[in-house]
A and B are shown apart, each in its own frame.
Chain A
């Protein structure tokens, strides 16, 4: 159903971003006094929060509309305008596929929109408090609003290109916001890193998109999903079959997801992204943008389900990510860093879920995660704000914060419980669903292998245990115990005991924090409270349906997300074992992790556990498995070397050859061209006159072009039409016009018009059984391959052959010379024929002989290599003893063959008896070679084709004439019907 409100959801934050951006430009702070700045900021945050809030309200309204029973499909669409057409190849040639700017709000994108706008509103509100001391206030909110708008385009776009606009948009905003404090080089570097990692992934999205579109023939998600069953065909790229379309597309799309959603191996950017302001971390790098990958998988769930291979890859990668990130988080010491790795780990959970086909569960985790992770980040931000930590806060310099920041502490605790999987919190339910998906796959017969299910289940259990552990570690160390920065006097750095191996970055913890922390303002704690409530409550939307509890989530998502057969929200669960296993694993993970953390860290002021890890292990974990170093050593290092090399090439070679020289040439040409522009009006007039004369020439002289189409029994000769043209045709090359008053097209029937055509002269072609060359493999004495790609050969005409031919043909009375030229190239190469010429296999017709006769006339012969016979050695020459057979012309210019009758010294016939054959019969007497018939003279096959020369003379209204000649080689079947001087011989 059309709904015009949808675009407004996007337009509001977008407009606000523009307004704020412009206001920032036009009222820089140095022009304003205190009061002005205050007013300006008031304007900015009213706009920023208001626009997103309004979007949220619209989203809520539309979401309620989705429940309308008249909308069974639960889809609202909005077509805004036709964007552009793109031409794509399809089975039936090229076709235009329209791409519209249209949006769709269904159960999937509806929920995501609620998350983006709802949590977005809270974070915008929070940011007004958090960023209150920031100078680039306008810039921040401009970016943040722009991000929201882009994210909404990503979510609501109904087709791939539009989604990609959002996809790139959020990437850009993320880059801008990570590097928000770009004065600090590391922060700017973090932004760049994020951008590069994302760009690698984006390439995957594009490839995946075109793979899908090439089959579905549409960019619309709905169309692509409808075409899911067609995705099982082979997908070839450059002639190489890569697998089914679904597999190829899904793997490439997943590459995009690993970038955007920080999966192994492209996850490295996300922890560094914490360089940005905390609200950014909360909004972009925890709640919304990073889940775009999961969203994309859910959006295209029918396609992914077509490819078990891709699903397996996704499940494995997700599991590895979950485990790896969780293990890194265990030893980290900065609040946002721990949360960042936790995010990566949780994203791994989601993808592991997707990999086992639990799309709905995966997306449920996206939903719940958005609440508690946003709350955690904001809580961390609140703590940092309280102690005036810039960038990040070291938990070993905090402690006891519950005294100073009670509200933050309460919300943080609730969220920690949720993420750790405390029973009946949101995280508990969503993790349980994921585990359930895994165990179900493990223990049921499906398209997906059961080992995948076990792998996912076990790694998720381990990762969840670690999650509970490091989250409570974080909570205890931050909020319980004593505030370790209370005393300014001593060096906090040395106090901490455990960081003997302080080779890691310690920019931020070589000084203590503010001694007197304070609770944050209402703008900051209200969002915390709301989010914490969500972290506890939203889990109840997805109660496990195996126990016949109302599972609103599953039903709701069923409209947009596909599932494996038998896995629907309404399907009765027959085998309860997986359910219990999942439940047990979930609760156990929470209990073990939280219990361990409680024992080790509750009210403690130092970490007595992780430093006891063997040092290599600790360092390995602390340095996030040294992935960055590995990249540095391999890809980046290699790249850098390559770049240096390329740079040198670029400077020395490309800059001169490809840039410098053309630029110089063009400049010279420009100088030359403008010399005619001498400034005097007479010169201008003269050039104008030249143009007029040129046009005059064109219009006053006819331009005939002849076109001929032959078939077996007729030929149609057409001259180009022109105003006032009259035509005369000469069909026999005798200079008289046979058709003096002709129309522009002349059809000749060979049979009926034979007499009228009066073909009297025929150009003979001799096809000789020479050059039994196997092109292109032979690199014979004949020549060599000159250009492999274009298959051009440098061909030396066989000298011995020429000698033979010369011997035969020079016996023709009055022949003075034989000129060779390659037929396709019309290049004469002399009597001896030694010169080389380019041989292009495709258009090679044969050698052409021009036989110049004593009377000055020329006869043409064409010698075609016989390609069918391949003797052992090249050119087995017939040794002629005495005089060879002769080929000549009779008085009418017809081919006449004289098998010789001379005898040798021994009195035997001088020529080999079978050297002249017609139809396998040896000929002894001179005979005429008829049209269409052939004779074998020595190793030469001689054949006669009639070539008709037609000439048209065009006369236009001005009385000017021009003529054009065309040569028609009559087809093989035609000759016998055409009279040659009344004689036809077979």
Chain B
């Protein structure tokens, strides 16, 4: 690893670490989203140290450009209610799981850090758009096609969940409620 690479790694990883903590720790979701953005950019930096140029770009485009924006969008949509006040609700459980998670993470992190592997020489084409694209469209065509189904599911699902009720549905819901009321009424009369 070159010195430049090392410096980039050091900076990126430190930023990634702190921005991650800031993301999960921020009280205001909007701030969390912005820290998530920082986190993502720092990861893109890490990718550069690993000769994944194409991926670094995609990371910025998709994550920073789309996912985080989506988050911000929803936060805006929800408005002030998107902030939650700190309470002690379920605090015991949450603390226990925090401690457990820290234990788990530290243990595994120590185990993983000791993993050694040699840097290997790479071709200049490694990680370029051409090489990755070649691989993507030739070798992993099948999952690529399946991902289109995933995205379709996500879109249809999101629409099915988040859309406001149509007039027809409002009517149906009313009818269903009325049917319940009628049934209750009928049962009551029968009992009487």
User: In their complex, do chains A and B touch, with some C-beta pair under 8 Å?
Assistant: yes
Q: Are A680 and B90 in contact (CB under 8 A)?
A: yes
* 29 A–B pairs (Cβ distance < 8 Å), ordered by A: A680-B90, A680-B93, A682-B90, A682-B93, A682-B94, A682-B97, A683-B90, A683-B93, A685-B97, A686-B93, A686-B94, A686-B96, A686-B97, A686-B100, A689-B97, A689-B100, A689-B101, A689-B104, A690-B100, A692-B104, A693-B100, A693-B103, A693-B104, A696-B104, A696-B107, A696-B108, A700-B107, A700-B111, A958-B111
Over the window 79-123 of chain B, the binary record of Cβ atoms lying under 8 Å from chain A Cβ atoms (1 yes, 0 no) is 000000000001001101100110110011001000000000000
Nearest residue (CB) in A for B103 is A693
Residues on B with C-beta less than 8 A from A680 are: 90, 93
Complex Cα–Cα for A689 and B105 (A): 12
Tell me, rounded to whole Å, the shortest Cβ–Cβ distance linking B95 to chain A.
Answer: 10
Interface of A is mostly: helix
Tell me, rounded to whole Å, the shortest Cβ–Cβ distance linking B181 to chain A.
Answer: 28
Residues on A with C-beta less than 8 A from B111 are: 700, 958
Complex Cα–Cα for A370 and B97 (A): 82
Residues on B with C-beta less than 8 A from A686 are: 93-94, 96-97, 100
Nearest residue (CB) in A for B100 is A689
Range, interface on chain A: 10 to 19
Complex Cα–Cα for A572 and B28 (A): 112
Residues on B with C-beta less than 8 A from A685 are: 97
Tell me, rounded to whole Å, the shortest Cβ–Cβ distance linking A694 to chain B.
Answer: 10
Residues on A with C-beta less than 8 A from B100 are: 686, 689-690, 693
- From B93, B94, B108, B111, residue with most partner A Cβ within 10 Å: B93
Complex Cα–Cα for A692 and B107 (A): 13
Tell me, rounded to whole Å, the shortest Cβ–Cβ distance linking A721 to chain B.
Answer: 21
9 closest A-B pairs by CB: A686-B97, A686-B93, A682-B90, A689-B100, A689-B97, A683-B93, A682-B93, A680-B90, A958-B111
Residues on A with C-beta less than 8 A from B97 are: 682, 685-686, 689
Residues of B within 8 A of A (CB): 90, 93-94, 96-97, 100-101, 103-104, 107-108, 111
Residues on A with C-beta less than 8 A from B107 are: 696, 700
Residues on B with C-beta less than 8 A from A683 are: 90, 93
Tell me, rounded to whole Å, the shortest Cβ–Cβ distance linking B89 to chain A.
Answer: 8
Complex Cα–Cα for A700 and B108 (A): 9
Tell me, rounded to whole Å, the shortest Cβ–Cβ distance linking A684 to chain B.
Answer: 10
Complex Cα–Cα for A307 and B141 (A): 76
Complex Cα–Cα for A685 and B90 (A): 12
Residues on A with C-beta less than 8 A from B108 are: 696
Tell me, rounded to whole Å, the shortest Cβ–Cβ distance linking B6 to chain A.
Answer: 27
Nearest residue (CB) in B for A681 is B90
Tell me, rounded to whole Å, the shortest Cβ–Cβ distance linking B169 to chain A.
Answer: 28
Tell me, rounded to whole Å, the shortest Cβ–Cβ distance linking A956 to chain B.
Answer: 10
Complex Cα–Cα for A686 and B100 (A): 9
Complex Cα–Cα for A693 and B108 (A): 11
Residues on B with C-beta less than 8 A from A692 are: 104
Residues on B with C-beta less than 8 A from A682 are: 90, 93-94, 97
Residues on A with C-beta less than 8 A from B96 are: 686
Complex Cα–Cα for A958 and B106 (A): 13
Over the window 655-689 of chain A, the binary record of Cβ atoms lying under 8 Å from chain B Cβ atoms (1 yes, 0 no) is 00000000000000000000000001011011001
Nearest residue (CB) in B for A686 is B97
Complex Cα–Cα for A692 and B103 (A): 12
Complex Cα–Cα for A689 and B99 (A): 11
Complex Cα–Cα for A689 and B101 (A): 7
Complex Cα–Cα for A186 and B103 (A): 78
Residues on A with C-beta less than 8 A from B104 are: 689, 692-693, 696
Nearest residue (CB) in B for A683 is B93
Tell me, rounded to whole Å, the shortest Cβ–Cβ distance linking B108 to chain A.
Answer: 8
Over the window 452-487 of chain A, the binary record of Cβ atoms lying under 8 Å from chain B Cβ atoms (1 yes, 0 no) is 000000000000000000000000000000000000
Nearest residue (CB) in A for B89 is A680
Nearest residue (CB) in A for B96 is A686
Complex Cα–Cα for A700 and B110 (A): 12
- From A683, A686, A696, residue with most partner B Cβ within 10 Å: A686
Complex Cα–Cα for A712 and B89 (A): 68
Tell me, rounded to whole Å, the shortest Cβ–Cβ distance linking A725 to chain B.
Answer: 15
Complex Cα–Cα for A682 and B96 (A): 10
Complex Cα–Cα for A686 and B90 (A): 11
- From A685, A689, A700, A958, residue with most partner B Cβ within 10 Å: A689
Tell me, rounded to whole Å, the shortest Cβ–Cβ distance linking B186 to chain A.
Answer: 26
14 extra interface residue pairs, beta carbon distance < 8 Å, beyond A682-B93, A693-B104, A700-B111:
A680-B90, A682-B97, A683-B90, A685-B97, A686-B93, A686-B96, A689-B97, A689-B100, A692-B104, A693-B100, A696-B104, A696-B107, A696-B108, A958-B111
Complex Cα–Cα for A211 and B101 (A): 63
Residues on B with C-beta less than 8 A from A689 are: 97, 100-101, 104
Complex Cα–Cα for A682 and B93 (A): 7
Residues on B with C-beta less than 8 A from A693 are: 100, 103-104
Tell me, rounded to whole Å, the shortest Cβ–Cβ distance linking B62 to chain A.
Answer: 27
Complex Cα–Cα for A958 and B96 (A): 25
Tell me, rounded to whole Å, the shortest Cβ–Cβ distance linking A793 to chain B.
Answer: 50
Residues on B with C-beta less than 8 A from A700 are: 107, 111
Complex Cα–Cα for A690 and B93 (A): 11
Complex Cα–Cα for A696 and B103 (A): 11
Complex Cα–Cα for A748 and B148 (A): 63
Tell me, rounded to whole Å, the shortest Cβ–Cβ distance linking B87 to chain A.
Answer: 12
Tell me, rounded to whole Å, the shortest Cβ–Cβ distance linking A354 to chain B.
Answer: 65
Tell me, rounded to whole Å, the shortest Cβ–Cβ distance linking A402 to chain B.
Answer: 64
Complex Cα–Cα for A724 and B76 (A): 52
Tell me, rounded to whole Å, the shortest Cβ–Cβ distance linking B90 to chain A.
Answer: 5
Tell me, rounded to whole Å, the shortest Cβ–Cβ distance linking A30 to chain B.
Answer: 25
Complex Cα–Cα for A685 and B93 (A): 9
Tell me, rounded to whole Å, the shortest Cβ–Cβ distance linking B117 to chain A.
Answer: 15
Complex Cα–Cα for A692 and B105 (A): 11
Tell me, rounded to whole Å, the shortest Cβ–Cβ distance linking A293 to chain B.
Answer: 56
Complex Cα–Cα for A683 and B93 (A): 6
Complex Cα–Cα for A606 and B168 (A): 87
Complex Cα–Cα for A680 and B94 (A): 11
Tell me, rounded to whole Å, the shortest Cβ–Cβ distance linking B114 to chain A.
Answer: 8
Residues on A with C-beta less than 8 A from B94 are: 682, 686
Residues on A with C-beta less than 8 A from B103 are: 693
Tell me, rounded to whole Å, the shortest Cβ–Cβ distance linking A769 to chain B.
Answer: 58
- From A682, A685, A700, A958, residue with most partner B Cβ within 10 Å: A682
Nearest residue (CB) in A for B91 is A682
Nearest residue (CB) in B for A685 is B97
Tell me, rounded to whole Å, the shortest Cβ–Cβ distance linking B92 to chain A.
Answer: 9
Nearest residue (CB) in A for B111 is A958
Tell me, rounded to whole Å, the shortest Cβ–Cβ distance linking A10 to chain B.
Answer: 48
Tell me, rounded to whole Å, the shortest Cβ–Cβ distance linking A387 to chain B.
Answer: 51
Complex Cα–Cα for A680 and B89 (A): 10
Complex Cα–Cα for A683 and B89 (A): 11
Tell me, rounded to whole Å, the shortest Cβ–Cβ distance linking A677 to chain B.
Answer: 13
Complex Cα–Cα for A692 and B97 (A): 11
Tell me, rounded to whole Å, the shortest Cβ–Cβ distance linking B97 to chain A.
Answer: 4
Tell me, rounded to whole Å, the shortest Cβ–Cβ distance linking A675 to chain B.
Answer: 13
Tell me, rounded to whole Å, the shortest Cβ–Cβ distance linking A676 to chain B.
Answer: 10
